[in-house]
Structures are given as C-alpha cells and as structure tokens.
Amino acid sequence: MKKQVKWLGLACMTAVLGASLSACGGESNNHTADQTTGQPSAAAQPSDSGPAKPITLRFSWWGSDPRHQATLAAIEAYRKKYPNVTIEGEYQGYDGYQQKLMTQIAGGAAPDVVQFDNVWNQDLGNQGDVFVDFNQEADVDLTTFPEKVLQEYGTVNGKLIGLPMGTNGFGLDINKQFFETHGLSADTEWTWDSFIEAGRKIHEADKEAYLFSTDLAAMPIVVFDPYLRSKTGAYWLNDDYQVTASKEELADGFSLIKELYESGTLQPLGEAALFTSKLEQMPKFVNGQIGSSLEWSGTVGKYKAVLNENFAVAKPIKVKDGIDPSISFKPSMLLGVSSNSANKAEAVKFANWLLNDPEAALILTDQRSVPTSEAARQALVEADKIDPDIAKVVDFTSQDPAAAPPVLLSNAEVFEIEKDVLQKVAFASLTPEQAADELTERVQAKLDELKEKAK
C-alpha cells in the first residue's frame, strides 16, 4: 500500500525531554472566554483619523480543561497585541460538538473561527462553501504545513477548508500500576492474540479488572477499521462507493470484537458508554481497574493529569501476520474560517497567528498534539516544551504512517451504521457472520444513495 511521505521529521523530538503540562482534568465548560484576536486588516489598523475599528470574532473548539486554559491564554495574548479585536470563546467537550456545529452552520450562525475534525469533511462539503478556501488567502503561510497533509486531510472539492492544528499519532495509553499489579510489562509490543490472552487471565483473576477500554464512538476508528486495514492491506470500503471487503474479512473483524468482550479483555460496552469520550472521568479508570486504551496522541495530556506517574505509552496493538503494519495517522484537528463571517480577513489572520506564530506555539504547546506547522514545532523544540510521551506516540506513527482513509469511511451516516452493527456484536445480538452481512447490505445501500446524490 502506498505510504504517506514521512514528513514529520520528529526523530529529534523524541530526544527532547519536554516538560509535561500540569493541569487538572474534569468536565469541560462551555461559556464565553476573554477578549482577543485576529490579525488586523487595514480596517483594523490604527489610523490618523482615530482608533482602530472594534471587531468581534467567535472561536469554537472542543477539548479538556488543559486545552481550554491554554487556548484562553493564547486568546489573551492576542488581545494584548490587538486590543481592538475581541474573541469570544465557545468551548466544550467533544461529545455533542459536531451536532452543535452542524446546527449552527445550517442556521447561518457558525462561529467565525472553527476547530473541526477532518472526518466531517464530506458532511461539510455537502453543505456548500462552509469555510473559506485558504489557498486564496494571502495572509496565511501555507509553506509551514506539509503539502500532502493539506491535500489529503484539509481539501474538499478542490478547496483548502482546514489547516492542520496538530499531528496525531496513535498508541496504547497504559496504567503502569495496573500492569505491574497483573505482572505485565509496559514495554511489551502486543499482538491482538497475545493481548486477549493476557486480558482473559486478568479478568478471570479479578472480575472488576479489564485490560482494555473503549467506547462505541471510538471502536470503529481505533479497533475495527485499523484491524481490517492491517489484516487485509486495504480499508473495507472505497471512495468509488463500494464495500470492498469480503464477508469473510468483515466477519473476522467482528470476531475480534466478539472475543474482546467474551474474554473479559474489553470493559463491557454498557459501562464504557456512561463515559463516552470521558474515560479520564471514569471511576474504574481513576481507581486503576482499567489497564489501557488505544488513543490518539492528543489525549495524552488529560490521561496524564489523572494517572500522573502511573501513565505510560506503548506502540499500538499489531495484527499477527498482518499485510499492512502501518500505524493510523491523522491531523489532531483542523482549523477553518466561516465563509459567512462578517470579518473574514481578521479571522484568517488570527488563524494564521494561532497556528504559525512562535508566541502562540509557546502558549498552546502540545495541547492539540505536536504542532503540524514547522514554525510552531521548531519553537517548541527550541524551548524544550514538547511532552516526551506525546512526542513518543507521534514518533510511532511517523516511522510508518498509514495512508489516508477513504473520505466515505468518515461519512456520518456510514459511521452510524458501522457503530450500530458493532453495538449488536458487543451485546451478542448478532454473530460475526450476521454482522458482516448486515454491514455490507446497509452500508452498500447507503453508498448507492450517496452516489446517486453526487451525480
């Protein structure tokens, strides 16, 4: 399979002993932040005729408390540079963020500056020109970003709608105390076979202990899809509107899910669902009854804030005799500017400052993982501000990054079908073979529908 260009150049980063950020976790907030920011246009510049024109921008993002605080600090720094510009922060946890954003866009009330996930690109593209095309904006320095990432992850219908905020590696987040208690090494390089064998023994010895936890929102992305890609050498559908995996291949993927639950390796879905996207708040996780979770590097900060010295990272779980050993990769998130903004020029300039300016980089550090911008990343390297665990996870991926997944794999309706079928397997209401048939039938019908709409 064609591999992504190993553009990150992060070998030096793993040698950097970055200072990790300390911040308390807890539930995210959603309210207005302090004033601050967008780079000034001519209209905003002071002139002989009087003070600069007051400008207000809205900036929305999701994340944990450490990310919120860092972003608010960056906003304050920008306000000090350009006091005529007010930035109102709209921030929350990940859960419900996409639905809220899509509702705002549909109602013509989108924030001026928006953090979003590249997996929403197709849905955004279907709504028209939601965001400005950064290719047409002279006030953004695109040379600091890898061209391949801009093309594969930020471009929709030929327009660059999102700039990568960070580089998200993929790895296994570990509770070292759990591993030591159950006689496991945090340095083990796992295959799914060896992982399940260990998980079964642990749960048999302690019915309240689970080696692994994930929720339904993450299961397709961190378990099912990468397992099938690694095992077969290809994603299970393509952008030609076809389910390409065979029934046997899909059944094999569902068998993995079934065995994870039946062996007691994976925490029951009913328990995990109570803390969707909030594992760091789960009592069992905090109390050391959960051993690990497959995660993107952007989540390292919130787990370290809870586990402290008991936190460690390891390479993601491999497929024994798999065809494709590459590791999942994606931008941690993208940053866009609403095409309906009343102050597009100012919003674009703020976006450029937030992602490319060394001052902003030193405030935001790695709260959105290792910055993708070369300018921002270099500023953190020189200041020794990259968390070594985050750099380590990113380096796992940079050594052999997986090719970008098909856009259709992230279609919201396809994703909901996949989650629904996985849930049925998790609760044993479908056998792996039945699940393979249902996924193929329902997804292919949806792909046919989408293909017809695209004509």
Residue 298 reports pLDDT greater than 60: yes
Q: What is the mean pLDDT of residues 121-125?
A: 86
**25-68: per-residue pLDDT in tens?**
333 343 333 333 334 333 344 334 456 899 999 999 999 999 99
Residue 432 lies in a domain: yes
Residue 4 lies in a domain: no
Alpha helices in 16-96 (DSSP H): 65-81
State how far the Cα of 355 lies from the Cα of 351, in Å rounded to an integer: 6
In this structure, the answer to whether residues 83 and 219 fall within a common structural domain is no
| pLDDT band at residue 6 using 50, 70 and 90 as cut-offs | very low
In this structure, the answer to whether residues 157 and 175 fall within a common structural domain is no
Q: What is the mean pLDDT of residues 111-115?
A: 98
State how far the Cα of 321 lies from the Cα of 323, in Å rounded to an integer: 7
Chain-centroid distance of CA 40 in Å reads 30
**189-207: per-residue pLDDT in tens?**
999 999 999 999 999 999 9
Residue 405 lies in a domain: no
In this structure, the answer to whether residues 429 and 372 fall within a common structural domain is no
In this structure, the answer to whether residues 431 and 321 fall within a common structural domain is yes
Q: Which comes out higher in pLDDT, residue 428 or 387?
A: 428
Strands 55-62, 113-116: pairing kind: parallel
Residue 414 reports pLDDT greater than 70: yes
In this structure, the answer to whether residues 248 and 164 fall within a common structural domain is no
Phi, psi of 419 (to 5 degrees): -65, -40
Quickly count: other Cβ atoms within 10 Å of residue 34's Cβ: 13
- H or E element in which residue 261 lies: helix 247-262
State how far the Cα of 421 lies from the Cα of 430, in Å rounded to an integer: 8
* Range scoring the smallest mean pLDDT among 45-49, 93-97, 168-172, 315-319: 45-49
Chain mean pLDDT for the chain: 89
Residue 406 lies in a domain: no
Q: What is the pLDDT of residue 106?
A: 94
In this structure, the answer to whether residues 304 and 289 fall within a common structural domain is yes
Query: Which one of 377, 399, 421 terminates a domain?
Result: 399
Q: How many structural domains are present in the chain?
A: 2
**329-374: per-residue pLDDT in tens?**
889 999 999 999 999 999 999 999 999 999 999 999 999 989 999 9
In this structure, the answer to whether residues 322 and 284 fall within a common structural domain is yes
Domain span holding position 442 = 170-328+411-454
Q: For the sheet with 292-296, list strands across it.
A: 292-296, 170-175, 311-314
Beta strand spans in 251-340 (E): 292-296, 311-314, 330-331, 334-337
Chain-centroid distance of CA 322 in Å reads 24
Residue 325 reports pLDDT greater than 70: yes
Strands 334-337, 113-116: pairing kind: antiparallel
In this structure, the answer to whether residues 77 and 226 fall within a common structural domain is no
What does the chain come to in residues?
455
Residue 381 reports pLDDT greater than 70: yes
Q: What is the pLDDT of residue 288?
A: 95
Residue 404 lies in a domain: no
Looking at the chain, the whole-number percentage of residues with pLDDT higher than 90 is 77
Q: What is the pLDDT of residue 27?
A: 35
Chain-centroid distance of CA 262 in Å reads 28
Residue 145 lies in a domain: yes
At residue 180, the 3 state secondary structure works out as helix
In this structure, the answer to whether residues 190 and 266 fall within a common structural domain is yes
In this structure, the answer to whether residues 276 and 160 fall within a common structural domain is no
Q: What is the pLDDT of residue 51?
A: 67
Residue 322 belongs to domain with CATH number: 3.40.190.10
**245-272: per-residue pLDDT in tens?**
999 999 999 999 999 999 999 999 999 9
In this structure, the answer to whether residues 89 and 222 fall within a common structural domain is no
In this structure, the answer to whether residues 29 and 114 fall within a common structural domain is yes
Residue 9 reports pLDDT greater than 80: no
Residue 60 lies in a domain: yes
